Every structure is written in C-alpha cells, then in structure tokens.
Structure 1
Amino acid sequence: MPVDLISPHNKELKINDITIIDNKKLKKAVAASALGNAMEWFDFGVYGFIAVTLGKVFFPETSGSTQILAALATFAVAFIIRPVGGIFFGLLGDKLGRQKILATTIIIMAISTFCIGLIPGYASIGIWAPILLLCCRLLQGFSTGGEYTGATIFIAEYSPDRKRGFMGSWLDFGSTAGFLVGAGLVTLITHLLGDEKMLEWGWRIPFLLAGPLGLIGLYLRSNIDETPAFEKMQEKQQSDAEHGISKISLKEIVTRHWQPLLICMGLVIVWNVTYYMLLTYMPSYLSSNLHYSESHGVILIIVIMICMLCVQPFIGLLSDKVGRKPLITIASFGLFFLAIPSFHLIMHDDVIYIFTGLMILGVLLSLLTGVMASTLPALFPTSIRYSALAISFNISVSLFCGTTPLIAQWLIEVTQNLMMPAYYLMIVAVIGFVAISFTKETANKPLRGATPAASDKAEAKELLQEHHDSIEAKVEDLTAQIDALTEKREQLIEQHPKLN
C-alpha cells in the first residue's frame, strides 16, 4: 500500500530520518503496557461482575434493585474525576515522558484497588463503608485518567508504521484478558465458597490480588525505555526553546485542535459504551432484569470474552492491510441495525439464542477494540498527543461511557422497557459513524508530527522508495493540472477580442 510520508520538519526525507524500531524493546513495551491495562480492566471487570454482592455489603438497607443501582452508581462516580486525572497526567506525560507516568499510574491503581478489599462492610462501620468505597473509586478514576491513554500512546509510538494496528491490538487484548480473569475469578470463588461466604468475605479476594499484580506491572514499566518519538520531540523542543518558540498551552490544544478532539470523543463513545454495555452491565442485566441464573450469565460473558481474545489480534492485523476506517464503519453500521435483533435473542429463554445475541455484540465490539489503540493516537501530533488524547478520551468516558450500566438500568426502571439498552447502542452507533466519516485513514502512515518508523533497514528503504514514488505521482498530477489550466487559459484568450 503506497504511503505518503512527510517529514515533520518540512525537509527532504532521508533514510536516516526513518526510525528503526528494536524488536526486543517493542515486545517489552507492548507487554508492559498490556499488563498494566489488564490490571485496570481486571478491577473494572471484578466490580461489574460482583456488583450485586457489593450492593448487599455496602448498601444493605435498600431494596434489591436499589442496591444494584447504588453499587453501579459508585462504579460510575469514579468516572467523574477521570478528566481531572487525564489533564494532570496528560500534561505531565507530554512534559516528562510516557514511561514515568505509566509507572506512576499503575502503582496508584494497585493501591486503591487493594484498599477496596480491606474496607469493612456497612454492618461494621455503617455509613463510612460506602464513603471509603467511594474514596477508593475516586482514586482509581484519577489514576485511570492517565493509564489507558498513556499505554495506548506508548505502544503506538513504539510500533513500526506497518504493524501499528497489530501491535496496538494487544493492548486491548490485555483489557479483555483483565476482564476475563476478573470474571473467571469471581465465578470460581463463588462456586468454591458459596453465596453465603462470598457475601461474608469472599468478595475481598479479587481486590486484594491487585497488590501483587501492581508490583509486577511496576517492575515491567520501570525497566522500559522512553519512546523514540518522544525522545525526538524533546530534541526538537530544545531547539525551539533556543529560538524562542514556546510550547502549546492547554487552551491552544482545545482551540486549535478542536476537530480531532471531537472525532476522538465520538469514536471513544461508540467503542466504550458498547464495551461497558456488554462486558460490565450485561451480567447484572441477565440476572436482575431477565431473572437468569447469575452464574450462567457470567459464564456466557466469559465465553464471549474468550472468543474476543482469539479474534482481536487478527482484527488489528487486518486493519494494517485494509485500514482502520472500514472496520469502524462496519462496526457502527452493525450496532445500529443489529442491536435490537441481538437483544431480542438475549431476552429469549433458550441459552443458544442468548449466546447468539451476545456473540453478535461481541463480534461488533471486537471490530472496535482491535483498532482503537492504533486509531486514536494518530489523531494528534507528538507534542500534544498525551494531553489531547487524555482530555478527549476521559471526558467521553466520564460523561457517556462509564455511566452506561447506570443509565441503562435507570432507563429500564423508568420505562419498564427491557429494550432500552438496545436503543442506547443505536444512538451511539450513529455518533460513531459520524466520527469515523470525518477521520482520515492512518494505516501504514507515520504518526502526526513523527518521522516514519520501520521494523528493519530493508523496510525503511521500502518506505523511502514509496515516499519518493508518492512525490513523483503528485508532481505528475500537478503537471497534468497545469497543462489542463494552460490549455483552458489559451481557449479563454482566443475568445477575448483584446487578449488574443
């Protein structure tokens, strides 16, 4: 696939301008980023799958449906502070580097998750129990504001241009794996302990495991190098500072880059609302609203996640071949036209129908998760990538995505219509289609503001040759346009009595 490579400094592109990515460092960066992200989604998965139990532990004086709403509200409230964390860590990430921030966010996430497992229940300390739970969730939300976006950028800036989709897909492979481990662990503990002991103390086990997982993630992230793109950007910024060129402020990011910010928000909305609807809310929907066996519902979602794990890397690889836009477009169309049929299947009594409905949503979600980690970082230049992505990503997640379980359940309670989640998915599908319509294809192209990146010297030569071929094609096209304009000029002159 021909690519248009433009040097960020408007100079002639030479072979030495193309960054050769060390394969060992790339694998290490992907592993460290994916593991940290897996831990983040392990927590969110555990919370979603154990929401019914948490409602009984922390809100025992309310009714069953209100308990679930209260637990989901505590889940959602953590998203309120995510934009604050995004701005804080985003600005630091563009100033100090991606690696330092990723090492910080994972330890904050591990500590706050571990502390949830230590909180006494409402029966022991009364109102202080939900208050402490809320504090831990806010701390989680603050750290998460810089976690996913930083990990996404880290992999994107480390990846060769031709493999960015495939490498980026492993980040959300970690997300789904975290969800899967969390769901599997909750199911296993519930099966071994039973409902009574699970309610008494078993629910603490998944949260306490965050401690050792966080230490492993911290070790991996502390032993990786900074991204080549950021190091080159620092060199350029030092040169700019010497010439009196100042850095872009937060206000300038919003005013000068408002279009990619809005595009990013739209893509995040369709992706994350679908994610939270299927993987976080659906177990509660199946058990509380459809009165389906809680353990059977969790098992179905686990099977869906296993299927997603199998296909996500292939989706990323496919996006390097056919582009990101076609896959996101298909997913958006699919959600709009198949959301209602999927929920009709889910509401059926037969487990085969239920699984088929969930699987349809899982396939559409995989089309999004497989490409977003390579699509979103490409929207912004290197100098503001962390800040801009963190702001747009976390505002979307905070206002629309993290509240998905709460809004879906509330809509059902208000309307008494079990199809409301399907209508909600249709709305976000329209948002996703509009956003991708205004997005330029970025597959096989360098990130904005960065020089091209290749896997080896031979690939670098191919990229350089494609760049030269692209220039020649543009020159030929301009020559043809000039010839056509010249011919039209002569025709017009001949028609004018005073010019010919």
Structure 2
Amino acid sequence: MATHSKTDRHITLLASLGSTLEYYDFVVYGMMAAYLSAAFFPSQNQTAAVLQSFLVFAVGYFARPLGGTVIGIIGDRWGRRPAFLISTTLMASSTLLIALLPNYETWGEIAVLLLVLFRIIQGISFGGELPGAMTIVGEFSSENRRGRKTSLVIASMNLGALLASGVLYLLASTLSKEEIVSWGWRLPFLAGGILGILLLIARNTVQETPVFQSIQERSKNHKPLMVLLGNHKFSLLKGAALTAFMAALTITNLYLPYYLPKFFGYESKDVYFATTLSFIFSVLVLPLAGMYADLFRHKTTLLRWTCASYIVLSLPIFLLLSTGTMLFLVTFLMIQQLFIALFVSTFFPILIRIFSPEVRYTGIAFCYNLTWAIMATLPMGLTAILDFFANPWVVPLTLSVIAGLSLVATWGTKEAILDVTNNRDEENVVKLERVG
C-alpha cells in the first residue's frame, strides 16, 4: 500500500496547488455572471441577459463529462501525469484567451461564440482536473489517511474560490459597475491565465503513481470506457447520485451573488465579502473534517447523517438570510460550507475505492462530471422559477430534494464497496478487465 512519505506530501502539495488555480479559473466566470451579462449579452430584459450568462456558465459544466472522460482515458492508458499536464495547459490557455476577448460591442456575436468556445475548453480541462487530483493523491496515500488527504485537495479548491471571491470583492470595492463592465472584468481572468502558466511549470515535477506503474504494461491496449460501461454500471450510478448533493450545494454558493441581492436586499460587495469569509472557514474546517471522517469504519454513516441533517435544517438555515444582517449572512454561508466539508471528506475516499485502478481515473471523472453537468442547470432553473414565483424559499426546497437523492443512494450498496477502511491492497490484486 502507499505510505505516508515525503513523496506523498510533495504530490499532495502539487495536486492541491493545481486545484487552487484551476478552480479559481473555472468559478470566476460564475461569480461575475452579472457583469459578464452586460458585457456580452446586452438586453433590455435584465433577467434574460443573466439567464444567457448563466447558460454560458453551464456550458462549461456540460463539457466536463467529455473532458473528464477523454482525459480520464489518457490517465488510465498512458499515465496520471500526462493527463494532469494536459488539463493544466487547457485551463491556462482558455482563461487567458477570455481575458483578451473583445466584448459584444466590438465583435458582436463572434465574441459570444468565442466566449462559449473558451468556456467549453475550460470545462474540458476542469473535467479531468479534480478526478486526476483525487486519483493521484488517493494512490499515493494510505487508506487510513485518504479522508484528510482528499479533504486537503478540496480545501485547496476552496482556496481558489477564496482567491476569486477576494479578487472580486476588491474589484467591486474599487471600481464602479460601469468600469467593471467596460474593462475591469478582464483582470480576474488575466491573473488566472498567468498563474496557470506558472502552475504548468510546477506540475512538470509531478511523478507517476506507483499504482499506475504497476499496471502500465497491461494498460497500453486497455479500453477503460468500454470496461467501465460494461462492468461498472452500478458503481457509475451510485457515484453520480452521491455527487448530486455536493454539486448542488457548491453551485448554489456560486449563485448567491445574484440570488441574495435580488431577494434579500444584500449589496454585491457584502455578498462577496461574506463569501470570502466562508471560504476561509472552509479551508480551515475541511482538513479537520477529513481527520474526523478517517475515524469512521463505515463512511456511509457520516454521509447519511450529513444528508439527513440538511433535509431537516435547510429551511431554518435559509431563514437566517431574512434578517438582512451581515452576521447572519456569514453564519449561513459557514453552515453551508460545514455541510460540504462533512460530505466530501467521506465521499471522495468512497469514490476512489468504488473503481479499480484500471478504470479509476475514467470512472471518477465520468460519474462526477456527468452529475455536475446536470447540476449546472440549477442556476438557470432557479432563476426562471424565482422570476415566475418570486419566492426565495424555492432554493432550500430544491436543495433538500437533492440531499434526499444522495441519501437514498447510500442505501442498496454493499458495505464491502463502501467500507473504505477495508485494508485489502486492491491495487496489487485487481486483474485487468476487458469488454468484447
């Protein structure tokens, strides 16, 4: 089994740093949707413009299953390292190109088409990023440390969101809305593109995992997707259903800069500031949640309690927002982050164990990204429903239903699969599966 070593720590650090920058590049669009709608989708109907902007946001998520599958196949056939470098290159280049893209007034519909194209490239890149990070970190880590290791990667992703939130808070505090729409929106993307280039240089030092090295010769003629669809349908369905709650909570947090000012009267800069504080909290609490999760013999227990608790508490949590005060806004966001931390600290170790090494990268990428692509329609759906009913309580109700779906998914699965504290060294005994 993998041991906790200097190499292990080095790989975790590089994977985490990469996740920070890649997540920053990917989410900054969603957090700037209100400004980008004015720059690329001029319309007398503000709701229609925001919907169009969120549609382009969702396009990135729609591209994730394709990107995750393609990059996952590369990772399972030719190595985790080359797949990692490909995802980094795509993200850095597409983010930089968005920063340099002329707006609608200059290039008209061509600008919109290019924005969609670059967003698709971002989605392809990010589709392979987190599955790759989890696969690499998981294969270098011992099982009794996977909860904390994978939680560190998620914490690093939240550092990326924290960085994005902080940059946007600074932007909203120093520039007028007109200045941001005119040129200020480019600055976060420019910073992300430059940092992405630095990330690519750093990731050249990433080593191949011992697990892949042990199956490398057998994997050259391997067809991961065919094996996955032929022999792992049940695992794919379980993985997708479990991903739903995490995806919904995370995407809803990105939706808040539009939702909170419109329905609860918060100013945009206050939402960005509170979001920044919540991400700081998340970065601190995620490693603790990972250590806590590693104490559980049966990880499904913590997953079930997390989902069930959210179903019961979602409405009271959202009622905090009706006070209109900054204190309760920050409290609300921290509670949201706590639920995410408790969920992901067990979710990813489970997902790593569900799939055998020969299909692990592809399997995680496929089910994880497919669910995120579906959940990416959540902002559009919520915007349309809220515009029709003008009832903000639609949001917690929707999240409760999704939490129920993930809760149901924890049952009906053999404990031998979900008990990730089982110390069988699966990597050394799994035989290559083939279809056809």
TM tier, shorter chain? over 0.9
1:276 corresponds in structure 2 to 251
Deviations 1:464-496 (A, max 9, x none): xxxxxxxxxxxxxxxxxxxxxxxxxxxxxxxxx
Paired AA for residue 150 in structure 2: G
Aligned length in residues:
425
Shift in alpha-carbon separation, 1:20–1:291, aligned structure 2, 3 A: closer
Paired AA for residue 404 in structure 2: V
- Whether 1:450 and 2:421 are equivalent positions in the alignment is no
- Whether 1:87 and 2:61 are equivalent positions in the alignment is no
SS in 2 for 1:376: helix
2:9 corresponds in structure 1 to 27
Mean Cα deviation higher: 330-339 or 282-291: 282-291
Q: Which runs of 5+ in 2 are unaligned?
A: 430-436
- Whether 1:195 and 2:172 are equivalent positions in the alignment is no
Q: What is the rounded CA distance, in whole Å, between the counterparts of 1:443 and 1:20 in structure 2?
A: 15
Contact 1:45 1:180 in 2 (8 A): no
CA positional deviation for 1:234:
2.3
Deviations 1:396-440 (A, max 9, x none): 1112x2222222222212332211111110111111111222453
- Whether 1:304 and 2:278 are equivalent positions in the alignment is yes
Deviations 1:41-96 (A, max 9, x none): 21233222211111111112242222221111110012222211122111111100
Contact 1:25 1:224 in 2 (8 A): no
Contact 2:60 2:123 in 1 (8 A): yes
Mean Cα deviation higher: 379-388 or 357-366: 357-366
Contact 1:379 1:448 in 2 (8 A): no
1:459 corresponds in structure 2 to none
Shift in alpha-carbon separation, 1:336–1:20, aligned structure 2, 3 A: closer
Q: Which runs of 5+ in 1 are unaligned?
A: 1-18, 453-500
CA positional deviation for 1:356:
3.0
1:175 corresponds in structure 2 to 157
CA positional deviation for 1:117:
0.7
Contact 2:65 2:373 in 1 (8 A): yes
Q: What is the rounded CA distance, in whole Å, between the counterparts of 1:43 and 1:62 in structure 2?
A: 29
Q: What is the rounded CA distance, in whole Å, between the counterparts of 1:372 and 1:73 in structure 2?
A: 28
Mean Cα deviation higher: 443-452 or 61-70: 443-452
Contact 1:44 1:179 in 2 (8 A): no
- Whether 1:205 and 2:187 are equivalent positions in the alignment is yes
Deviations 1:449-478 (A, max 9, x none): 3149xxxxxxxxxxxxxxxxxxxxxxxxxx
1:128 corresponds in structure 2 to 110
- Whether 1:340 and 2:315 are equivalent positions in the alignment is yes
Paired AA for residue 333 in structure 1: A
SS in 1 for 2:327: helix
- Whether 1:76 and 2:63 are equivalent positions in the alignment is no
CA positional deviation for 1:258:
1.2
2:363 corresponds in structure 1 to 388
SS in 2 for 1:444: coil
1:290 corresponds in structure 2 to 264
1:417 corresponds in structure 2 to 391
Q: What is the rounded CA distance, in whole Å, between the counterparts of 2:17 and 2:376 in structure 1?
A: 21
1:45 corresponds in structure 2 to 27
Contact 2:4 2:142 in 1 (8 A): no
CA positional deviation for 1:35:
1.6
1:326 corresponds in structure 2 to 301
Q: What is the rounded CA distance, in whole Å, between the counterparts of 2:272 and 2:422 in structure 1?
A: 40
Q: What is the rounded CA distance, in whole Å, between the counterparts of 2:31 and 2:423 in structure 1?
A: 40
Contact 1:346 1:358 in 2 (8 A): no
2:96 corresponds in structure 1 to 114
CA positional deviation for 1:233:
2.0
Contact 1:37 1:175 in 2 (8 A): yes
Q: What is the rounded CA distance, in whole Å, between the counterparts of 1:157 and 1:136 in structure 2?
A: 32
TM-score normalized by structure 1? 0.81
Q: What is the rounded CA distance, in whole Å, between the counterparts of 2:263 and 2:26 in structure 1?
A: 21
CA RMSD between the two structures = 2.0
Shift in alpha-carbon separation, 1:438–1:230, aligned structure 2, 3 A: farther
Deviations 1:281-313 (A, max 9, x none): 112111233332111111111111111111100
Q: What is the rounded CA distance, in whole Å, between the counterparts of 1:20 and 1:134 in structure 2?
A: 41
2:345 corresponds in structure 1 to 370
Larger Cα-atom Rg: 1
1:492 corresponds in structure 2 to none
Shift in alpha-carbon separation, 1:448–1:386, aligned structure 2, 3 A: farther
Out of 227, 244, 259, which is 2:234 matched to?
A: 259
SS in 2 for 1:119: coil
Q: What is the rounded CA distance, in whole Å, between the counterparts of 2:4 and 2:339 in structure 1?
A: 33
Q: What is the rounded CA distance, in whole Å, between the counterparts of 2:423 and 2:382 in structure 1?
A: 39
Shift in alpha-carbon separation, 1:376–1:252, aligned structure 2, 3 A: same
2:433 corresponds in structure 1 to none
Contact 2:78 2:216 in 1 (8 A): no
SS in 1 for 2:265: coil
SS in 2 for 1:450: helix
CA positional deviation for 1:215:
2.1
1:225 corresponds in structure 2 to 207
Q: Identity of counterpart residues, as a percentage?
A: 27
